[in-house]
Copies of this chain bind each other. A is one copy, B any other.
Amino acid sequence: MTKLMIRNVNIVTMNKDKEIIEDGFVIIERDSITYIGSSNETNEHNVSNDYNIIDGKGGILMPGMINTHTHASMIAFRSLADDVQDRLTKYIFPLENIMVDEKLVYSGARYAICEMLLGGVTTFCNSYYFEDEVAKAAKEMSIRAVLGETVVNFVAPDAKEPYEGLKYAERFIEKWKGDDLITPAIAPHAPYTNDSNKLIEAYSLARKHDVPIIMHVAEMDYEQKKYAEEYNMTPVQYLDSLGILDENFIGAHLINVSDEDLDILENKGVGISHNVGSNSKGAKGVAPVVKMFKRGMKLGLGTDGPMSGNTLDIITQMSLVGKIHKLYNMDRTIFPAIEIVEMATIGGARALNIDNVTGSIEVGKKADMVIIETESVNMCPIYDYYSALVYSANPSNVELVIVNGEVLVKDKKLIKNDLMEIKNELLQMKDKILEVSKRL
């Protein structure tokens, strides 16, 4: 049986008209959505015996959420050094140089993918070292992903010389290009960890293979200072002067950006990953997301790595978006919940240039979708589905997850992957990580 019907659900489609279909049903054939209807329709779909049927028990069926920026394997380090100043250079880079190898990247990615799936994430965008290990994990576990190999100007876990990531990236891209779930990419870490000629080289490589570039941009105060002092430019102006910003560029954070920077980003069609939890916990500032959204820019949500954001689901980020931007703008009417759900789904797909494939529940799109159950105590009463998703839900309300037509989470449990085995693999590294961390 290749046809799947999900019925008895309230469908938050996130299509162009933001339609909600109460008491609806969806039909999935192979990897795609082929029909969306409502229960009061009387047609062959409701009487056919051809389907494998899932009863949604009155839950909310929404598009799979998209985590537009993370470093999944860093889950191995979660809960270390949350409150340390200058953490990236003083703590994280040294820790990574000692601890990160292929095994950690693979095991960490596997565990992180479990957490993302269980939290309703059906696509993630990742950048890290040994990115081929992340791709293997994602492919084996059947989650959709945009994966970029990191390039930096120093010796890194997978680079005995600076910029070796460029070579790794080309091999990686050639290996995965054309895969139905994995989009390979190249990820120069940040402007300040790459020389300009190497950024241009990375860009050429991306264009040669027609893949995305992923980069942290305008995230750090010292980054802002460096480009002001050395070039009298913002980081965005600097990257634009190199000619490397275009619609295949995915910029993470973009906190310190001026209105002129927004003009550039908008004109070039840059995709934006807003990391509200990481930006706030790291005391990095508030990105002008209200302006980005009003301009209709390609804007999604990301968790950042689990040392920065701690959890990998997007539901938790949604609530934070509302709270932090309402507060920062001293206006409770900003970002009504519907706009936040947009960022978490179709907005993220647009940022990653995969909105033709995923991000909404529409006929013709791949079947990436999630049921949020409404039986738990926190999900009642519901007068507004968007409000319930943004301000009441938590990742434990994710009941069912389908990626590319395949059911991966059912009754809140992974059904294809063995969480206990993957967890035990991750925990094998814990003692050594703890010991190393004490020396930092």
A382 touches B79 (CB 8 A): yes
Measured in the bound complex, the distance between the Cα atoms of B74 and A381 in whole Å is 11
One of B280, B378, B434 near A327 (C-beta < 8 A): B280
Which residues of chain B are near A111, meaning CB under 8 Å? 377, 380
- Of the A-B pairs whose beta carbons lie under 8 Å apart in the complex, a sample of 24, sorted by A's number, is A78-B380, A78-B392, A82-B336, A82-B387, A84-B332, A84-B333, A111-B377, A111-B380, A115-B377, A118-B377, A277-B323, A281-B327, A283-B327, A310-B387, A311-B378, A316-B394, A323-B324, A324-B324, A376-B396, A377-B423, A380-B426, A381-B430, A383-B433, A394-B395
B384 touches A79 (CB 8 A): yes
Which residues of chain B are near A37, meaning CB under 8 Å? none
How often does this chain occur in the complex, in copies?
Answer: 2
A282 within 8 A of B: yes
Measured in the bound complex, the distance between the Cα atoms of B79 and A427 in whole Å is 40
B326 touches A281 (CB 8 A): yes
A327 touches B326 (CB 8 A): no
Measured in the bound complex, the distance between the Cα atoms of B326 and A162 in whole Å is 34
Which residues of chain B are near A381, meaning CB under 8 Å? 75-76, 78-79, 426-427, 430, 433
User: Taking each of A78, A111, A336, A433, which has the highest tally of chain B beta carbons within 10 Å of its own beta carbon?
Assistant: A78
A residues near B (Cβ < 8 Å) are 75-80, 82-85, 87, 111, 114-115, 118-119, 277, 279-286, 310-311, 313, 316, 319-320, 322-324, 326-327, 329-337, 376-378, 380-384, 387-388, 391-392, 394-396, 419, 423, 426-427, 430, 433-434, 437
B323 touches A384 (CB 8 A): no
Which residues of chain B are near A427, meaning CB under 8 Å? 380-381
B426 touches A332 (CB 8 A): no
Instruction: Identify the closest chain B residue to A276 (Cβ).
Output: B323
Which residues of chain B are near A388, meaning CB under 8 Å? 79
